[in-house]
Amino acid sequence: MAKADDKPASWHAEGRSGAVAAGGKAAVAAGMAILKSGGNAVDAAAATLLALGVTDSKSYCLGGEIPIIIYDAKRNITEVLVGQGVAPRLATREFFLKQPDGIPSTGLLSATVPASIDVIITALERHGSKRFTDVAEPTLKLLESPTETWHKDLHKTLKAMCEAEMQHKDRMLGLRAVSDYFYRGPVARAIDQFCRENGGLLRYEDMAKHHTAVEQPVTVDYRGFKIVKCGIWTQGPALLEALQLLDGFQMEKFLPGSADAIHLQAEALKLGFADRDDYFADPHFAQVPDMKDLLDPEYANARRSLIQMERASRERIPGDPKLKRARRGIPPVSAGNGGPALDTTTCVTADSLGNMVASTPSGWSGVVAGETGIWLGTRLQSFSLDASSPNVLVPGKLPRITLTPTMIMQSGKAVGVISVAGGDGQEQAGIQMVTNLIDFKMTPEAAVKLGRFHTDHLVGSFRQTPPKLGSLTLDETITDEVAAELVNRGHVVNRQNGALSHPVVIWRNPETGLMKAAGDPRARRNAMAY
């Protein structure tokens, strides 16, 4: 295997053989080492995602979650891996209504079933070429010089998972043995015991029932490209709705980062998020809109009429996709107490064969499950306790999550992948990446560095933070002149130093095969290519 430190990571890179862009430098190097050893983009993503559990452990954990979009060039298919765990059987609405603060934003009570390990295994089974032991090797090396107590325990757990795999010569049987060790073996039993002893809700039965579902992605056409997202159990379709609204305007006539461009994108997102807040949820447990209705051009035309170029909206307006009406006509869903969202991290990969992977790994504010070294996440806080919400907490249900990787296709082939960290800001930075790349024809390096905006004109996804109607936060690189113009249009403008949300991008030139990778250096994102 090529050494992970052959070439140091930077915030941007280009090459024709392979590319990785993600969070921690050592995690990016882990993915690059797998590519150089003959692995494909999925193998590289698996290695990067495992290593991010160490390098980015304050933003993502191996007991957390990773929705993944994969384009398999050989089979010419695109699919979504549902890397999110459900609410445990003991996690009922009635239980949390009795808690003094509802579903907590930190600690053990708000853990969903860990999904990260099985979604990595599923990706390797369906599209990879390496064994788990191969892709775990860089992470095991990171853990050989522990800096925290849980590092030693995680090293022991990962090593035991590799040993379970190596008892099988067949790669597929070995991969399944890794998942079984985690979900139906010693790790699951240890997590069960830890939760019983410390008041947690996860049990062995929850772990044993877990599997990673595989779905068809949701897509819309945008200016000759196809934009690919995960389903309505994420906020992904809100981006697609917003892009359909933008498709009725000539974005390319605006200057990148101008008041016109920012205003139009913000107003389109407000409408997409209003539908998200009131409609999006696990479709196996809630009556959600049919995607044909939600993404119907006729519905987009009706909603587009609500956008005024000269005036910012101060109203949260869900529509009626079934009847193709711009306004639903009944009050929108209620908000809650709100809670802090620390962060997420990012991972996108590509190889010379044309394979591309977009993933958004997350999980934070939880606790380490005893001596397993596995941090548990806190994604239960994305549920509502309002019985009228489609996203109300039910055991066995997926929370509607902010995690939302993006893939861009042209002529049936993947040409771009985007991942963003930043809670409700993920689609907001995501739409800016899409328009930067497609409308403004920017390189990835320019796209990730262009000044960004963020609105809280929505119900927050963590404990349902109340909306701040008309709000618009601008980062420090956006000029005062642009800010003043946006104030004139009615936006409630705030300024923030540093990056708003944290994007990474890979873009492939379909004619030359050249891949350009970049991550915003202000957010300490890293990229490598060769």
pLDDT of residue 497: 92
Q: How many domains, the chain?
A: 1
* 346 found inside a domain: no
pTM for the full predicted model = 0.97
Residue 353 within any structural domain of the chain: no
**Rounded to 5°, angle at Cα 123 from 183 and 6:** 110
pLDDT, residue 4, reads 42
Instruction: Give the phi and the psi of residue 308 in degrees, each rounded to 5.
Output: -115, 125
Contact by Cβ (8 Å): 36, 325: no
b/e sequence 225-254, b meaning 16+ C-beta within 10 Å: bbbbbbbbbbbbbbbbbbbbbbbebebeeb
Cβ atoms of residues 490 and 270 within 8 Å: no
Helical spans, DSSP H, in 439-513: 444-449, 480-488
- What is the pairing mode between strands 471-475 and 492-496? parallel
**Per-residue confidence (pLDDT) for residue 7, from 0 to 100:** 64
Spell out where 97-154 has E strands. Answer: none
- Only one residue has tokens 């519905």, namely 299
> Which of 199-205's residues contact partners 24+ apart within 8 Å by CB, and which partners?
199/108, 199/109, 200/108, 200/109, 200/111, 200/376, 201/88, 201/90, 201/91, 201/95, 201/109, 201/111, 202/88, 202/111, 202/113, 202/376, 203/88, 203/89, 203/90, 205/89
Residue 445 belongs to a domain = no
B/e letters for 365-389, b = 16+ CB within 10 Å, e = fewer, are: bbbbbbebbbbbbbbbbbbbbbeeb
What kind and span of H or E run contains 246?
helix 236-246
d(CA 282, CA 273): 16
Q: Please name which of 160, 211, 163, 168 lies closest in space to residue 187, comparing C-alpha atoms.
A: 160
In one-letter notation, the amino acid at residue 206 is D
Q: Please say whether the dihedral angle defined by the alpha carbons of residues 31, 181, 212 and 155, taken in this order, is positive or negative.
A: negative
Q: How far is CA 426 from the centre of its chain?
A: 7
**Is residue 79 a contact partner of residue 365, using CB atoms and an 8 Å limit?**
no
Q: Is there a domain that residue 416 lies in? A: no
Q: Which of 456, 452, 459, 451 is nearest to 492 (CA)?
A: 456
The angle at the Cα of 96, spanning 94 to 102, to the nearest 5 degrees, equals 140
Does residue 456 sit within a domain?
no
Strand 68-72 with 502-508, pairing: unpaired
DSSP-derived secondary structure letter, 24: S
- Over its length of 530 residues, how does the chain's per-residue pLDDT go in tens digits? 434 445 677 999 999 999 999 999 999 999 999 999 999 999 999 999 999 999 999 999 999 999 999 999 999 999 999 999 999 999 999 999 999 999 999 999 999 999 999 999 999 999 999 999 999 999 999 999 999 999 999 999 999 999 999 999 999 999 999 999 999 999 999 999 999 999 999 999 999 999 999 999 999 999 999 999 999 999 999 999 999 999 999 999 999 999 999 999 999 999 999 999 999 999 999 999 999 999 999 999 999 999 999 999 999 999 999 999 999 977 777 777 776 666 799 999 999 999 999 999 999 899 999 999 999 999 999 999 999 999 999 999 999 999 999 999 999 999 999 999 999 999 999 999 999 999 999 999 999 999 999 999 999 999 999 999 999 999 999 999 999 999 999 999 999 998 999 999 999 999 999 999 999 999 999 999 99
Q: Is residue 453 part of a domain?
A: no
DSSP secondary structure of 335-399 = ------------EEEEETTS-EEEE--B--S--B-GGG--BB--GGGGSB--TTSTTB--TTPPP
Asked if the structure places residue 265 within a domain, the reply is no
Range of the domain at 115: 27-67+83-213+361-382
Tens digit of each residue's pLDDT (9 = 90 or more) over 443-469: 999 999 999 999 999 999 999 999 999
> Residue 368's pLDDT is what?
98
Q: How many CB atoms lie within 10 A of CB 400?
A: 25
Q: For 291-311, b where at least 16 C-beta lie within 10 A, e where not — what string?
A: beebbbeebbebbbebbeeee
Q: Judge whether 51 lies within some domain.
A: yes
The alpha-carbon radius of gyration of the chain (Å, integer) is 22
Name the nearest CA neighbour of 122 among 68, 158, 44. 68
How many other β-carbons are positioned within 10 Å of the β-carbon of residue 74? Answer: 10
Token pair recorded at residue 195: 């939760």
Choose among 435, 393, 81, 47: nearest CA to 239: 435
At 225, which amino acid appears?
Answer: F
Tens of pLDDT along 324-372?
999 997 777 777 777 666 679 999 999 999 999 999 999 989 999 999 9
* Cα–Cα distance measured from residue 129 to residue 4, given in angstroms and rounded to the nearest whole number: 19
